[in-house]
Amino acid sequence: MQNNLNVPVFDLKSLLPPYHTHTLPTAGFYADTPVEVNIRGLTVKELKHLTASGRFDKKVFDQTIASCIKETVDLSKLLLQDYNFLVYLVRLYTSGSKASGRKRCKNQACNVDYSFDYDLTEKAETTFLEEVLPISKSVSLPRFKEQFGFDVVAEIKPLTRGDYLKIDKAIQQAADSAAKTGQPMSSYPLTELLKALIMSISGLPVQVPKDQLLDYLDPKEANLITSAYPDDIFGLSGKATTICPVCATEQEFVIPFTDIFFQ
């Protein structure tokens, strides 16, 4: 393309890394999530932007990941499995398949902390949905029926990236508060997870705020809720076998297909 002065026109955007088309793990079987996206790796400017503040900012990170997708995608509404898949692709197209991790030797006599390399494309496996994933599921809480005769049902949703960010923020605030007051926060992460998963609770004879009721659920009920959507039916998974360089003990490393890749 040339202008009227016959001077070649050059657009710097043409130097962006190439886009690649990929089907998301939900594969069109969940709500309004796209079937596929066109995605590319990061530029040097974008990598610099991620580390400009000297700390890892999840909001800035998501804005940067979104800029690598040709289509307009609201990352906060994506299920975590789709979101982590996009992070994996950006990592793959930015830095290639070679990745590294750290592990502490499980041999107590050794206990050395060491780093190792592995190949992402060899270890990563993607499972795709093959049928519609419901936007919510009803989970009965049997203890209420057994003790009080009430059919109490919790309506559960799958976890999105937006949910995760809210949980992460709440946990960080709780951790800061615990550090100042010296109070423990061992059960706090589970409470925040349940808040994100439960859309509503019905069947009680009186109206009880969801957040108050959560404090009285037992571990079995919490497990019923958190396992309503199994983690292994779709998404990314991968493990690498590591060998301690000191004592040669073998152990497995679970690949973190999350924003940890860039931290």
pLDDT tens, residue order, the chain (263 aa)? 455 666 666 667 778 889 999 999 999 999 989 999 999 999 998 888 877 666 778 888 999 999 999 999 999 999 999 999 999 999 999 999 999 999 999 999 999 999 999 999 999 999 999 999 999 999 999 999 898 898 999 999 999 999 999 888 877 777 777 777 776 655 557 788 899 999 999 998 888 888 888 888 888 999 999 999 987 789 999 999 999 999 999 999 999 887 776 65
CA atoms within 13 A on the CB side of 204: 12
pLDDT for 14 equals 73
- How many H-runs (helices) and E-runs (strands) does the chain carry? 9, 11
Q: Long-range pairs for 40-44 at CB < 8 Å and ≥24 separation?
A: 40/16, 40/68, 40/70, 40/90, 40/93, 41/17, 41/68, 41/90, 41/92, 41/93, 41/94, 41/95, 42/17, 42/68, 42/90, 42/94, 43/16, 43/17
φ and ψ at residue 226, rounded to 5 degrees: -70, -20
DSSP conformational letter for 122 = H
CA distance 52 to 58: 13
Q: How, if at all, do strands 36-39 and 20-23 pair?
A: antiparallel
Q: Are 63 and 72 in contact (CB under 8 A)?
A: no
**Tokens (6 digits) for 241:** 């076998």
pLDDT for 15 equals 80
Cite the beta strand spans of 40-178 per DSSP E: 98-104, 113-119, 125-127, 137-140, 153-156
E strand or H helix at 253, and its extent?
strand 250-254
CA distance 172 to 219: 23
3-state secondary structure (DSSP) of residue 129? coil
pLDDT for 49 equals 81
DSSP conformational letter for 18 = P
3-state secondary structure (DSSP) of residue 157? coil
**Tokens (6 digits) for 8:** 């070649």
Rg of the chain over all Cα atoms, to the nearest angstrom: 23
pTM over 0.75: yes
